[in-house]
Structures are given as C-alpha cells and as structure tokens.
Structure 1
Amino acid sequence: MLQHDMISDKCINPHLRYQILSDNQIKFIINSTFEVLERTGSLVKHPEAVELLKKAGCIVEGELVKVPQWLIENALKNTPSQVILSSRNGERKLFLEGSNTYFGNGLANPFFVDIETGERRPVVKSDVFNTARLSDALPNIDFVMSLAGLTDCHPSVADVHEMHAMLQSTTKPIAGWATGVESLSDIIDMCSVVAGGLDKLQSNPFLIVYAGNPVSPLIHPEDALAKLLFTAENGLPVIYASGLQLGAVSPVTLAGTLVVGLAEQFVGLTIAQLKRPNTGYLASIGTLTLDMKTMNTAFGGPELPLSLAAAKDIFRYLNIPTWSIAGATDSKTVDQQSAIESTVQIFMALLSGGNLVHDIGFLEGAMSGALEQIVMSDEIISYVRKMVSGIEVNNETIGLDVINKLGPGGQYLTHEHTFKYFREQLWFPSLLDRLRYNDWVNQGKKTMLDRIREKTRTILKDYRPEPLPQKDIEAIDNILEKACKRGVKY
C-alpha cells in the first residue's frame, strides 16, 4: 500500500513510500529468522569469526554456529542507524538513514559495450576512468563504483587498479570491493592518503567497503568474513550483501527467502559488531529469479524490486540502513527493455527508500556495463525523484490572490507568479524529446539512443573532474606498484 507522512501544516510529502509488509508480517519474519538461527544454524568458515561467536555465547559445533536471539538483539543495538559518506574532499554528502536514497554504479562485470563501436568486449582499466568521470559529471549519480571486473591486469590486483582509477576520476563517495585482505589493505591505504590519514578517513569516510556475500543458503565463506572483519577493525563502514535465487539457493517463496536472507544478514551484522561495536553496516537481501525456462538469473524481473522493498520494510523496522539495487537490466543493449526494467527498479527504490542503491549501468544481468546505460538512468532518476518529491501546499503555492485576480478565462503565462515558481515546480529533461514533429525532423530525427550517445560523448570529451594533488597521485601510484609486484607472484 502507498503511505505518506504529513509534515506540519505545509503538507510537504517527501516521505511517500511503498510499503510491502505490515508490522505483524515483519515481526513474523523476524521471529522465524530467530528460530532458524537457533535451531538450524549457519556454517561460519572463518576461525576468528567462529571464536568471536563462541565467546559471545553461541553454540558451536565445528563450523556450525547457532546464534541465540539475545545476541542478535544486542548486535542490533550496537549497529548505527545512520552511515554518513563524504566526498573525496571531506564534505559530508550521503546520509544513509530513513528513506534517503542515493544511486551509483555496479561492479565486477567482465564485459563492456564500447561507446564507439557498440561491440561487447572485455572490460579494461580505461573503462573505469570513463565510468567514474561520467558518473562524477552526472547530477543524479551520487556515488561511484568501478562498473568493471578488469581483464587487462592480474586478477589478484584488479580491485586495486580500479580504486587507483576511481580516486583520480571522481570526488564523489566510492563503494570499493577487494579480492582479499591484502588488496583491501592497499585500497584503504590509498584512500587514507587521499583523506590525509586513516583517522580522517574514519571520521569522514568517502569509502564504503563491499566485503562480499554469504554463500546462500546460510554459509559464511572465509574470504568474505576476512574482509568484513578487516573493514570493521579499520573503523570503516561495510556492506555484506545476501544474494539469493528463488527456488535455487532459497525457497521459491519470497517470504521464505526473506527469512534465509535475514538470517544471513543477522550473522554478518553480529560478527561485525563483535569485532568492533558501532561498525557502520549496510544490510541487504537481494533476491533474483531463476528463470525456469533458461536457468539464467533474471535481474529485470519484478521479484527483485519487490523483495528489495520488503527487505527495506524489515530493516526500516530494525532501524538499519540498506544496500539496494536498481538500474540493471537483462537486455544486452541499451534499448526499450533496458529502459523499462531500469525505470521500474529506480521507481521502486525511491518509493521504498533503499539507501545506497547500486548497479546503475549494468546490462546482461550484470555481465556487461555500458556508459549509455548510466546516462539514461541519470535521466530516469531525475524524473522519478520529481515524482516522489511531493507537493508543497501553502498560501504561496496555492496562490489564491493570483487565481482571484486572473479569474475565469485568465492566462497565467506572463504572470509574475509563474515566473517566480516555474523553475522549481516544473521538471526539465535533458534527454527526453518534446519538440514538435517538424522541429524534430529538422534537427536530425534523433532517437533517444542518439541523444544518449551524444550526451555521453560530450561529457567524455569536455568534462574534467577535480584533479588529485600530484603528491597523492605519486603515493597511490607507489601503492599500486607494490600491489602489482605482489600480484605477479600468484
């Protein structure tokens, strides 16, 4: 159902949201999750994590850990209800709490659709530079991810190369990932250089670490937990996202899948808080459809945004910020399908209030990235943000005196009230076409994709992000060089 909050007598409605679950349903899911954790348990593959849980009061049988309800509740109390991300320059930008929603790219796709040739090819480091620079220029892309799983360097240091490129191409907050703790250490060192020290990065983080994922159902792998623990130890916010598939690694029912995903999140969250209380943690239950015809996962199906909205209901109830998904498509190119799927996801993300929303730029179910998909999604986000921003109702916006003065048959086009308010009241597209037909023909009959490509190329040609100081570039170059020497040994 659609709900909204009344804000004083102005009746501004910035909190319009789509609520999937009632409070009673949320409590039922949470209580069912407690039973899974106490009776079924989870496999925890990291020795330190097992020891932390054992000392805290869990029942441990080898790697099988059963977590009591009271311990989860204590961990929830220690989890901040807000995570704040800053710009590279230390200015606080993203306030991850409540229904505040911010959008950014995805990561780890092995292919890219080339802006010049239109061909699908392996992703290379220059694509990261372009993704970050383009995202830095677009007003509705709020944070940056690499949109890459690099193929032109050693796999063990691809993540360090990606951070090296992003730090030089954007001042916006960055969500980074790592292949392992060694690479994560390099990434944190790079960001500490730019921030002016680890202490400054901790107090105003522009980096949030995507530590990895549980292996559904209910397995917590050693590598992901190692990165989760290392991030917490370094006092930085962390993402540990559950990714499930209906009918494959979780029940085919959304309700059952929410329970499995929430159980995974509760364990990850508890480990983070046992390692370092008050660690910033973004929770996530992403649920993909296993297409029963093709056996492929479907990013574009309705189950994903529906489950993400329901998960947001649960985490809003628990007062924990969330990591979400939008702007991804199963289409192999930027076309009508990618527009439909991206729009629905972005609309649902804003209505449900997912906080940090990634995957802007994904094609082919996250196997490919495309700069044009980012530019199109920027326009969609702007459009939908206007739709969910609400309507300000007061004496000025109603304008009774103006209505009375102009009376029946009056025209408002030249009135000062229109001049005063039209810029803030009306949405202005940068890509959507509103020309008359003859004007459209005279200007070259440009399609939406033509305009997207034209805008993308213009930004890449003309836009230059704020540069890093030369001393910082030299420092992160040195960190990258050492990481590459280490990578050659593997």
Structure 2
Amino acid sequence: MTNEPRRRRSADRANKGSTAIPQLPLQALRNPYKPMEILSADQVEAIHSAAVHILEKFGIEVMSPRALALFEKAGAKVNHATQTVHVDRAMVDEALKTAPSSFTLTPRNPERVVRLGGDALNFTLVAGPPNVHDLERGRRPGNLRDYCDLIRLAQHFNCITMLGNQVCAPVELPANSRHLDTYHANLTLTDKSFHVSAIGRGRALDGIEMMAIARGMSLEEMRESPALTTIISVNSPRRFDDAMADGLMTMSEHGQAVCITPFTLMGAMSPVTLAGALAQQNAEALFGVVLSQLVRPGAPVIYGAFTSNVDMRSGAPAFGTPENTKANIASGQLARRYRLPYRTTNGSASNAADAQGAYETLMSLWGAVLGHCNLIYHAAGWQEGGLTASFEKFIIDVEMIQHMIETLRPIEVNDAELALDALGRVPTGGHFFGEAHTLERYSTAFYQPMLSNWQNFESWQEAGSLDATQRATRLWKKALEDFVEPALDPARREALDAYVAKRREAIGAGEP
C-alpha cells in the first residue's frame, strides 16, 4: 500500500471515531511447505496416459472455425463435419515446452502484482453468480450497486489478491454491454487485477484495452506485460464452444493469461469415479493449453481444476466434499507434472452463510492449499453452489483465508523464540502473563481474528448474543464505511469514460 491511502484511511477513521477492522497486511503470499502427494508417481502417469488416449482417440469438439483452422495447420487431425479435433502426444509435449511455468500479472497499481506459479498463493473474489444476498435485504437479482459494493470489499481486504469475472451479474443492464460497466467499476473502485469475460472476442478485447488505458500503456506494451486473466470454461464433456475458443485465442494473441477449467462434476459431466474424472479434466485442460500455444508460443496459461461430484439422489452439484478435496490435491500433482500454474476453487453448496457453508469451504480450501494451488478462484463470497454472492459469506471466507495465511507462516526457532530465559525466571506453578518476554510480544504474538468472539457466555449474551453470521453483517457494513477509493490519474479516468461511451454506442449499433 502507498502511504497516501493509509493517511486517508486514518483520517477517515479518526473523523468517524472508529477503529479499523483487524486484518493482515498486504503481502506476497507463498506456500512454504511441501505439497501433499495423494497420487503415486505411477498413478499420475496413468492419468496422463489416459488423457492422451482421450485426445488421440476420442477427440475434442471445437465449435470455432478459426480454432479448427489453427489445429489443422499445426498437423492435428480435424473432422470438419463433426468439428472434432484429435491431438497427439507430440503436439501436447510441444505446447508444454513453450507454456511458461510462472508469470506475473501487473494491474494499474504495480504494488498489487499477482504472481502465478511456483509456491505463490492468491485468492479471488467470487465470480459469476446471478444473485446477491445479505441478512438485511435478503436474496435478490444481481445489480450494479451490489456489484460495486462487493468489489469495494475486495479492495478493502488485503488477502483478496484479485477480482474474478463479475462478482454478480448486473441484470438491470443490457447483457451485451454490461461488461463495460463492470470493467469500468473494477478499474476505478479497485487497483487490483481482474478476470475479464472471455465470451467471445469483443468482451475479452474490451477488458484488455481498458486495462491498457488504466495503466497508460499501448496494446503492444500490454502484450509484453500481462495484467489480466480469464476463465475458459470447457463445456464438459469434451467441447469448446465458439465463444470460449474465440475468447481464449484473443487473450493469448494479446499476451494475457488464460485459465483452462473443465467443468467435471463426477456422475454428470464426467465419469462417476475420481480417476476417470481426473483423466477427462486433464485431457480438456491440456487441449486448451495446446490451443493457447498455437496462437502464441509462450502465452501465459493456467491449469484449471473444477472437479467435484453431484448428489446422486438429486443431480445437484456438491462442493467441499471429500471427493472434491482429494481432487484439489490430486490436480495439483498433475499441474506440477506439466510445470504449469494451478487454479482451483474452495466451493460450498450451502444455501446460507452457515456452518455447512463454512466447513465445506474449509474442506476444499485445505485441499487447494495442500495441493499447492496458485490461484484459489471464488475464494470469498461463494454461496448456493455459485448461484449467489453473499456479503456475510465474504466476511466469513476472509476470516478463513486469513487463518490459512497465518497457518502457512513458518514457525521460527531461535534463542528468542525458545524463551529459555523466560522459562528460567517463571517459578514452578507460576504464570507468564507478567513476564517481560510476554509483555514484549503480547500485542503481536497471536493472530487477531476479526470475526471470532471469545467473550464468556454472559458477556456475549449481554452484547446481543450475535452469532458469527450476524457479526459478519456488522463487519461488511463497517468495511464499506472505511473504504477509500484508490486514486486514478484524471486523464486516464476520462479516457476510460470515453472508451466505454464509444463502445456502448458501437455495441448498440450491432458491432461485436
């Protein structure tokens, strides 16, 4: 953070006579521990071989003529009648040689740089729900006001590294141009990187051009210094529709990152077995990697995983299950086999910001962290299986994320930490409350939660008997009160406004 926003926040709080919500400082997050390996080396290779078999023998449907032409030119077997592409092992291997193992995304504030790959760890705001919910106003369709408030929260909390693609859909705006409004909000109310919509070339290119304006760069400069990414959702099983394929190619052509994410729900869009689902996920992800490298060798690409299961009684998606947790760990092994950055999700199927929502989210979050995920998508605010963005769930998730960050902080072992002098000074049966070693560290020794309540029962009852979800309501409202809009050069703001006006007019006239 710069000193100026800190001064402004301090002044605002002084004027309001309030104290800040405790949160961890802005930092480059990393996972310093060894990743968990739930699969043996032989099992990883068996899944890889099965994925190659799928690509060579079964093929992938590609509904974009431009993508079909690229594959055919590169030597893939293309059946134009069925729009099916068969990719062989050699083409996969060649693509993996040029796909970068790590890269950075630099938004308009370079202090918010996003590192992807290696042991880097990043968390995003929930993305894509059509609905919004909070305890005071209930469940309602997504709208621009709530959209802006949710991204203000993402800007306020340091542990949210970047924004996803539309935290909620502002349904009151025209569907073909609302992305302009959400990009504009992203670039003015936050200074963090974000995911653009890659539903076709136009939406992707608008995001790239608007970020270039906000950074004061040309498109060529952006090509060499990426700032954005997108989620390319594979229409599993084994289909890339034309909009997703065109969005992928546009992003790669301009040097921006793409995250290839198959939607492999076991029992519905993939086999009911975890091994079969992972093989399918692997094949679809590798296919997207190949396409990105055919467009531009060296284009940044992320291995995406979204493997979970359905409720076999109803067919409804389930998240935070043991199967989902294991898939998050195993997918990390596959991503590391290919030396690719890795993305997954800490989802929940709960319809409320309740205990189920917390334990399912934490289960999948542990799977992501143990699997050494670099980008945990939908990390804060996901509710109702991704159909609702929740204000209270956002706060609960931020608390869990901060717990995880502190858990990943290595234990220090040195003379000061071993505290032998203090141990020698405190008599048998004594206590350490008044010991100098304690007094020197009491304010920073332990993680300070923002949501947990550690009062005794009587004090908690006198304070209103609020549970964690009710306390979360107070916190998101307080965070919005404390929000400070990040500064943006007035000339760049004016250029953004002009771009949006011009493109809105063009889209209204029928241009893509």
Fold match by TM threshold 0.5:
yes
8 A contact 2:198–2:243 mirrored in 1: no
Question: Residue 252 of structure 1: SS of its match in structure 2?
Answer: coil
2:76 matched residue in structure 1: 58
Residue from 126, 141, 148 that aligns with 1:122: 141
The aligned residue for residue 36 of structure 1 is 54
**Separation in 2 of the partners of 1:56 and 1:390?**
47
How many Å apart are 1:173 and its aligned residue? 1.9
Question: Normalised by the size of structure 2, how large is the TM-score?
Answer: 0.88
CA contact (8 A) 2:124 2:160 kept: yes
CA distance in 1, matches of 2:153, 2:133: 15
Contact 2:259–2:302, Cα closer than 8 Å, also in 1? yes
Distance across 1 between alignment mates of 2:56 and 2:491: 53
Q: Secondary structure at the match of 1:176?
A: coil
Give the length in aligned residue pairs: 476
Mapping of residues 366-405 of structure 1, within 5 Å: 366-405=386-425
Q: Distance in 2 between matches of 1:283 and 1:149?
A: 26
- The 3-state SS of whatever aligns with 1:18 is coil
Query: How far apart in 2 are the matches of 1:155 and 1:92?
Result: 30
- The aligned residue for residue 312 of structure 1 is 332
TM-score normalised to structure 1 length? 0.92
Give me the whole-angstrom Cα distance separating, in 2, the residues matched to 1:124 and 1:424. Answer: 40
Letter in 1 for 2:323: E
**What CA RMSD, in Å, does the superposition of the two structures yield over aligned residues?**
2.1
- The separation in 2 between residues aligned to 1:251 and 1:345, in whole angstroms, is 20
Counterpart Cα distance in 1 of 2:485 and 2:180: 20
Which residue does 1:8 correspond to in 2?
none
**Equivalent of 1:81 in 101, 110, 125:** 101
3-state SS of the aligned residue for 1:107? Answer: coil
Q: Alpha carbons of 1:303 and 1:158: their partners in 2 closer, same or farther (altered >3 Å)?
A: farther
Q: Are residues 414 and 32 of structure 1, via their aligned partners in 2, closer, same or farther at CA, if it must alter by over 3 Å?
A: same
Aligned with 1:426 (options 421, 431, 446): 446
Task: Name whichever of 178-187 and 21-30 sits farther off.
Answer: 178-187
1:209 paired to 2:230: yes
Once the two structures are TM-superposed, the CA of residue 13 in structure 1 deviates from its matched residue by 8.8
Per-residue deviation at 1:378? 0.4
In the alignment, structure 1 residue 279 sits paired with structure 2 residue 304: no
Equivalent in the alignment of 2:117: 97
SS of alignment partner, residue 343 of structure 1: helix
* Cα shift at 1:142: 1.5
Q: How far apart are the structure 2 equivalents of 1:446 and 1:203?
A: 51
What is the CA distance between 1:294 and its match in structure 2?
A: 1.5
Q: Is the 8 A contact 1:232 1:276 kept in 2?
A: yes
Deviation at 1:481, TM superposition (A): 2.0
Q: Matches of 1:265 and 1:13 in 2, distance apart? A: 24
DSSP 3-state at the match of 1:51: helix
8 Å CA contact 2:381–2:391 kept in 1: the answer is yes
Corresponding residue for residue 6 of structure 1: none
Post-superposition Cα deviations, 1:340-363, rounded to whole Å, max 9, x if no partner, equal 212222222222221111112121
Match of 1:337 among 342, 350, 356: 356
203 and 59 in structure 1: CA distance in 2 versus 1, 3 angstrom threshold: closer
Q: CA deviation at 1:324?
A: 1.1
- Aligned twin of 1:22: 40
TM-superposed CA distance for 1:434, in Å, is 0.7
Would the alpha carbon gap of residues 407 and 56 (structure 1) be closer, same or farther in structure 2, given more than 3 Å must change? farther
CA distance in 2, matches of 1:475, 1:395: 57
Q: Is the 8 A contact 2:134 2:473 kept in 1?
A: no
Whole-angstrom CA distance in 2 between matches of 1:87 and 1:477: 18
Task: Tell me the equivalent position of 1:224.
Answer: 244
* 8 A contact 2:328–2:364 mirrored in 1: no
Equivalent of residue 135 in structure 1, options 121, 137, 154: 154
What is the DSSP-based 3-state SS (H/G/I as helix, E as strand, rest coil) of the residue aligned with 2:234?
Answer: coil
**Do 1:123 and 1:151's aligned partners in 2 also have CA atoms closer than 8 Å?**
yes
Separation in structure 1 between the aligned mates of residue 337 and residue 305 of structure 2, nearest angstrom:
15
* Alignment equivalent of 2:382, drawn from 344, 362, 366: 362
Q: Residues of 1 paired with 2:442 and 2:263: CA distance?
A: 44
The CA deviation string for residues 21-79 of structure 1, in whole angstroms up to 9 with x for no partner, is 12221111112211221222222222222222222222222222221111111111111
SS at 2:403's partner residue? helix
Partner residue, 2:369: 350
Find the aligned partners of 1:465 and 1:22 in 2 and give their Cα distance.
49
Which 10-residue stretch deviates more, 166-175 or 373-382?
166-175
What secondary structure is seen at the aligned counterpart in 1 of 2:263? strand
- In structure 1, the partner of 2:309 is 289
Q: Is the 8 A contact 1:154 1:488 kept in 2?
A: no
Q: Deviations over 1:441-461 (max 9, x none)?
A: 332322212211011111112
Q: Distance in 2 between matches of 1:157 and 1:277?
A: 31
Supply the AA of the counterpart residue of 2:180.
Answer: V
Counterparts of residues 118-267 of structure 1 (less than 5 Å): 119-145=138-164, 146-197=166-217, 198-210=219-231, 212-267=232-287
Is residue 156–residue 179 contact of structure 1 (8 Å, CA) maintained in 2? no
Whether 1:71 aligns to 2:91 is: yes
- 1: CA distance, partners of 2:203 / 2:265: 29
Distance 1:278 1:147, change over 3 A: same
Separation of aligned partners in 2, 1:434 and 1:233: 53
* AA of the residue aligned to 1:381: I
Cα offset, 1:216, TM superposition? 1.2
Indicate the residue corresponding to 2:504 in structure 1.
484
Find the aligned partners of 2:305 and 2:506 in 1 and give their Cα distance. 35
- Out of 451-460 and 430-439, give the one that drifted further: 430-439
2:456 corresponding residue in structure 1: 436
> Aligned partners of 2:435, 2:477: CA distance in 1, in Å?
39
Shift in Å at residue 276 of structure 1? 0.6
Residue 168 of structure 1: how far off its partner (Å): 1.3
Match of 1:268 in 2: 288
Q: Which residue of 1 aligns with 2:67?
A: 49
Aligned to 1:257, the other structure's residue is in SS state helix
Letter in 2 for 1:50: L
Distance 1:74 1:420, change over 3 A: farther
Q: Tell whether the 8 Å contact from 1:350 to 1:388 is kept in structure 2 after alignment.
A: no
Helix, strand or coil: the match of 1:260? Answer: helix
CA contact (8 A) 2:118 2:341 kept: yes
Q: What code does the residue aligned with 2:353 have? A: V
Distance 1:455 1:204 in 2: 36
User: Could you say what secondary structure the match of 1:339 adopts?
Assistant: helix
Identity score, percent: 27
What secondary structure sits across from 1:432 in the alignment?
Answer: coil
State the AA in 2 paired with 1:30.
H
**Structure 2 unaligned runs (5+)?**
1-29
C-alpha distance in 1 between matches for 2:476 and 2:443: 25
